[in-house]
A and B are shown apart, each in its own frame.
Chain A
């Protein structure tokens, strides 16, 4: 629940208590078959208690009353668990809703903006958004450029730039334009916008059960039916054997045996899993994708931004034969002074750090800066007396050849060496005289190698996707420690690679942002689109990362795994609990008719009534006790399946066997001390 504020927590708790009561409505309760059975059992025992109260009975009415009360608590506790999981999302949805209400839009009708209600906008409408306006709906920027405050959606306060064309053209309804203006083509009908989907997701109102949740529910229903049969047939068997058992006790036995612990917490686990994603600013469009994330076998990661820092950095100057290091550094620095690209800045920084060359003022040098052009593929400066250019090996070679010169052998050799090591060579020339090469290096993100090692231990293969040539790619792949790489990647190539892995039965996850990533995102089992990306990419993926941080994929996988582990662990715990409950209840049921059964009362529970009541109370309390675990998820560490399994079996399997023995005994002692039995 975080530590943000206690008032917030209290509010959620109070709402959850109210919700727990509301969820008693059979129409709502029936969504959870295990707890529905408990509800029916509670109604049944309540009926008996009322009948006894009015008619008077020979039986132990206080005992039946206590059982009944605790059965009701069992249902309420389970409802409370679900409500508290939903609570956080509900509060968030409330905040989101406020941004959505009463937005006005300037719809372009016959080239004139006209103010309309945002809610009336349909797909294909075009709106004008000016500074201070809320963007009324999701859309694509078709004209203009603006800075947009997306904090309402992402929580990130720094404004972002949105412009027409390219990969930064998508805007989200509910965000605010800060400067300039844009024309936006609406891409979503009311009720289908990103904000709408986000609200319904965090609210959990339209939460669909996920495939694994459905399968687990089937298992739990199966167990419930078995126990229902076992308990229902116990009545005739007991009759035959001359043992009298009241319906209230049979209901108590049934509720203790059916998997109420996992049944009561199952939906809370699911909601909490989605919530954990949301806390990391990832919006999963379906729970299915979260589960699939736990199963991922292959991660396709874009090199840039995920494995390496976005930009290459200059790390070394290599002068041509007969040129001094200082001369090269000096020329490189002058050529880069006006170059605002990160590469250019890094050259200036390197010159300063290594050769103590201070930045000079271009105007005093009377220099004319020649920016990079796609045509010449060079940049540089024209000074009074000299012309300096820097560019790729090919571009400079072409440039100097035209001037009747050649690349010196040692520069050529150095460039090949740089390329082989995964770097990018940049050649600097003054007129026709080549001065030397600059080593631009991809800088691997700190800690990424360790992450990949973890992933490998989890059994997940990492594949780096890059547009670089195979040589460069191989070098970076080796340095970063990925398992495989795909060089000179094209959108088609990516798609084919995903299909190839899927053909082998593997589940593939990838991140993407561009429109050309959309097919691959759609094909991948888990496709995480960057929020900064295009609308097409966001539609194609099944998750959106609001922080646009490609490394997030690793966390998503962990959350998926944690979700499944929590389900498995609590199921095991729930079933293991039954052993102790049998040891409490069976002797209590039969030891009146057959005192010999006392030998099985290994917990030495004081009376049959207190034994049964203790088991019922334990069964109810354990749900509440495990709510924090269900919300937090079981601890996850990236280790092999074998180790994880052993650890969880000991904690939840063995723990599930032992805990109720202790718990039931303790409750029994308390009940006796309080004279409740």
Chain B
């Protein structure tokens, strides 16, 4: 128990120690200020621009920015579909894997392009090494950079005044990758390889087991994909079992590095925000709200797992729930991973979330339903939280007798409309996606469990899709035409239904003047604001999903206490 808490404390301390300088560094990168790596990276950037014929200094308005982003992502998705369809004739396919069925390829492409990394496939039996590297890993970088670019554009909208311009999409993409994602990925993958994560292009190995049977051991370029999987909050595992696979996550140390990597950039972006708005306390306040929510989630999840299932507990062992967990990581490492990966819209897993206790399983689900703003995805967490900040300052800000404002920018009808759309779209997607699934045969066909647990599985799938998380409550057989299409649509709506309104807000904020703060303005730095922001996030999420959750994990928990399971 004490060592468990110690692990959590070490995690928080290390995270803040690393994210703080990263935030300052990222602020410099996106503001075009000098950094210590410019001598290496600037020539790379210039070469890229020359090759693509792009002027990285050309400022864009929000429509141009969104246009560039959409075209780039659509092309990226098309490329991922194409590579999957052609993998049989492409190189690095020692196992001779066939073309991926179209609905699965479409689902996978949509999922990786949107930073979701929902995986309806098993990596080792579906994707060639070339597909893993050229299609999926590349998208891991691009989708992460896309999220970071959108967040930066929004921050620019908040800091600039009387302009239509919110930056250059290409420059933000390129800088995200060259200055931030690539160097970090290289360092982390080196560390992983040192710890035993494999990196090769060899055919699968067949070995004789101790029992005299034969086992095929899958190989591949894992380390290079593993690092960006966490750093970019992508979460798509090289193997089916994701970070529970010893070749992906061999040791407790790699487990800690993985959870740290997942939170590193999203947390750093909040610090970056404080630096870019020239008031670090603004960043601290947002992070405090995020960490407050996360601590509650982690505590709840951990407590529920420790409390375990009283039915299995009686007379057998301690009730602590170890089902679906890896002994290497224990309850603490598993609970931490599950809380982190769903808080940050990563979706990598080292534990079977389906096997969590009902309330323990509700925590990851709820974190996704809240809109992936408890830390959240790279960039997506910050801009998602900004939508809730708009809501908070609007409702609460009025109470001080001024029309609502944030950082001196008036929050008016247009911002409110866009913020509401950005919050509404994922929520409505989850509710209706799940509702359609529980009344259609195709939807119910995927269920491996009945009763409340079945509903949880479906809710989890759509929460994961709309929140661009990508983790699964494994009990659902999702590789069907129905789920491949529904989930693909869900991830696309959940991604661009948020990004476009966010960019629209960035554009309209940039045009506004900035009113200086005074004693009459609503302070957005104090503990009161932190509590209010966290409160609004919980209220909106809880009020929206409470009826659905009541029939899923909540009733399952109540019935479990009465000795009933599903």
Contacts and interface: CB of A to CB of B under 8 A. Distances in A.
Contacts of A579: 539
A602 B371 CA distance: 29
B431 A229 contact: yes
Contact of B413 (A214, A225, A238, A636): A214
Nearest to A586: B550
B513 interface: yes
Interface in A571-586: 571-572, 575, 578-579, 582, 586
A505 B398 contact: no
A426 B402 CA distance: 47
Contacts of B417: 218
Interface in B507-566: 513-516, 518-523, 526, 528, 532, 539-540, 543-548, 550-551, 555, 558-559, 561-562
A564 B402 contact: yes
Interface stretch (A190-198, A314-322, A593-601): A593-601
A459 B516 CA distance: 11
Nearest to B529: A645
Contacts of A644: 399-401
B148 interface: no
B459 to A, nearest CB: 9
Contacts of A238: 551
Given A504-B516, A599-B558, A641-B520, A229 B413 contact: no
Contacts of B110: none
A561 B402 contact: yes
Contact of A229 (B421, B428, B515): B428
A649 interface: yes
A239 interface: yes
Given A562-B401, A645-B396, A240 B439 contact: yes
B124 to A, nearest CB: 34
Contact of B431 (A233, A560, A582): A233
Contacts of A291: 403
Nearest to B451: A241
Contacts of A294: 401-403
B276 interface: no
Contacts of B561: 596
In this complex, the interface size class of chain A, counting residues with CB under 8 Å from chain B, is 35 or more
B77 interface: no
Contacts of A240: 438-439, 454-455, 551
B428 A225 contact: yes
A370 interface: no
A569 interface: yes
Contacts of A597: 550, 555, 558
A646 interface: yes
Given A572-B395, A582-B543, A230 B550 contact: no
Contacts of A596: 555, 558-559, 561-562
Interface in A429-479: 456-460
B435 A236 contact: yes
A565 B396 contact: no
Given A236-B438, A241-B452, A565-B398, A231 B416 contact: no
A218 B413 contact: yes
Contacts of A230: 431, 543-548
B434 interface: yes
A212 B539 CA distance: 23
Contacts of B547: 230-231, 233-234, 237, 253, 586, 589
A226 B399 contact: no
A652 B455 contact: no
Interface residues of B, number: 65
A582 B522 CA distance: 30
B414 to A, nearest CB: 8
Interface string B373-404: 00000000000000000010011111111111
A457 B412 CA distance: 25
Contacts of B97: none
B526 A642 contact: yes
Given A240-B438, A645-B528, A212 B403 contact: yes
Interface in A631-663: 636, 640-642, 644-646, 648-649, 652
Interface in A181-221: 211-212, 214-216, 218-219, 221
A140 interface: no
Contact of B519 (A212, A586, A640, A648): A640
Interface of B is mostly: helix
B528 A646 contact: yes
A295 interface: yes
A648 B551 contact: no
Given A257-B543, A568-B395, A578-B543, A237 B427 contact: no
A505 B517 CA distance: 10
A31 to B, nearest CB: 16
A568 B438 contact: no
Contact of B396 (A295, A568, A582): A568
B150 to A, nearest CB: 21
Contacts of A459: 518-521
Interface in B422-443: 423-424, 427-428, 431-432, 434-436, 438-439
B557 to A, nearest CB: 9
B225 to A, nearest CB: 37
A234 B528 contact: no
B416 A215 contact: yes
A297 B518 contact: yes
Contacts of A231: 547
Contacts of B411: 215
Given A568-B398, A640-B519, A233 B543 contact: no
A241 B519 contact: no
Interface string A592-617: 00101101000000000000000000
A636 B401 contact: yes
Contacts of B412: 211-212, 215
Nearest to B558: A596
Contacts of A236: 435-436, 438-439
B400 A582 contact: no
Given A218-B417, A241-B551, A226 B558 contact: no
B70 interface: no
A222 interface: yes
Interface of A: 211-212, 214-216, 218-219, 221-222, 225-227, 229-241, 243, 253, 257, 291-292, 294-295, 297, 456-460, 502, 504-507, 560-562, 564-565, 567-569, 571-572, 575, 578-579, 582, 586, 589-590, 594, 596-597, 599, 636, 640-642, 644-646, 648-649, 652
11 contacts: A230-B547, A233-B431, A241-B452, A295-B403, A505-B161, A505-B513, A564-B398, A564-B403, A582-B543, A586-B546, A644-B400
- Listed from nearest, the 3 A-B pairs whose CB atoms lie closest are A459-B520, A568-B398, A561-B401
Given A226-B540, A241-B452, A505-B513, 6 more contacts: A219-B416, A504-B516, A505-B515, A586-B547, A641-B519, A645-B522
